[in-house]
A = this chain, B = another copy of it.
Amino acid sequence: MTFRVHLRVMPRDGLLDPQGQAVEHALTALGFEEAGAVRVGRAIELAVAASSRGEAEAKARQMCDKLLANPVTEDYLLEVEED
């Protein structure tokens, strides 16, 4: 089976996020006062071939730890869904 993996790789909490700051600033300037705490990261989507959802997730985590996220500056969240 193949699964679709949705990844969100976000800057570590406490790390300065200049991009998030700029976007928040811009939203406020556009009158979206209700918006706050903006963080900007990377979204990655990929197909993973695996025999089970669990296996797909495990593989996706390996990919994150090895390549997709920079452990020094980023945290990641992933969702797996059947294709």
> What residues of chain A have their CB less than 8 Å away from a CB belonging to chain B?
2, 6, 8-10, 23-24, 26-27, 30, 32, 34-50, 59, 62-63, 66-68
The interface residues of chain A, by DSSP majority, are classed as: strand
Q: How far is the CA of A46 from the CA of B23 in the complex (A)?
A: 10
Top 3 closest pairs, chain A to chain B, by CB: A43-B43, A34-B49, A8-B43
Whether B30 pairs with A67 at a CB distance below 8 angstroms is yes
8 residue pairs of the A-B complex, CB under 8 angstroms, read A23-B68, A30-B66, A35-B46, A35-B49, A36-B47, A38-B46, A39-B45, A40-B45
Residue of B2, B24, B42, B63 near A32 (CB, 8 A) is B63
